[in-house]
Amino acid sequence: MLIYDEDCGFCRRSLGWMTRLGTTCRYQSAQKSDLAALGLSDQDVLDAAWFVVGDARWRGHEAIAQALQTSRLAPVRLLGRVVGSGLLRPLTSRGYAWVAAHRHQLPGGTPACELPRSA
């Protein structure tokens, strides 16, 4: 299950892209989730998307990789494996961090999407 920020227009729009890519995982908004039961905090879900299966949790780019690997389309599953691979981790983790930091400026983004700035 992919946990996302329902208040973020960019995040909601991204779910549309994921659906068109044939992903079959469940999507659940952080705002409608029992985060404690999932082993997550409010801050966790403000900082990144999460993918949860049983006791396993993936954060950020690894969460997106896991979601892509549920696709009915083989090329999308392969993309998920590439995004989640250890070899590309430095690139994909930085890419995810950049997107998360700028999601309010990306298509579908609104001021509500902006992450709080750390002091």
Mean pLDDT for the stretch of residues 66-75: 96
Mean pLDDT for the stretch of residues 87-113: 81
pTM of the entire predicted model:
0.86
Give 71: exposed, middle or buried? Use CB within 10 Å, 0-12, 13-18, 19+.
buried
Task: Note the pLDDT of residue 50.
Answer: 96
Task: Note the pLDDT of residue 119.
Answer: 44
Task: Note the pLDDT of residue 76.
Answer: 96
E strand or H helix at 76? helix 74-83
The residue that leads in pLDDT, 33 or 104, is: 33
The domain segmentation of the chain, as residue ranges, is 2-109
Would you say residue 69 has pLDDT above 70? yes
Task: Note the pLDDT of residue 6.
Answer: 87
Give 55: exposed, middle or buried? Use CB within 10 Å, 0-12, 13-18, 19+.
exposed
Task: Note the pLDDT of residue 104.
Answer: 79
Task: Note the pLDDT of residue 110.
Answer: 66
Local confidence band at 43 (pLDDT 50, 70, 90 cut-offs): confident
Task: Note the pLDDT of residue 115.
Answer: 67
Angle at the Cα of 38 from the Cα atoms of 36 and 40, rounded to 5 degrees: 60
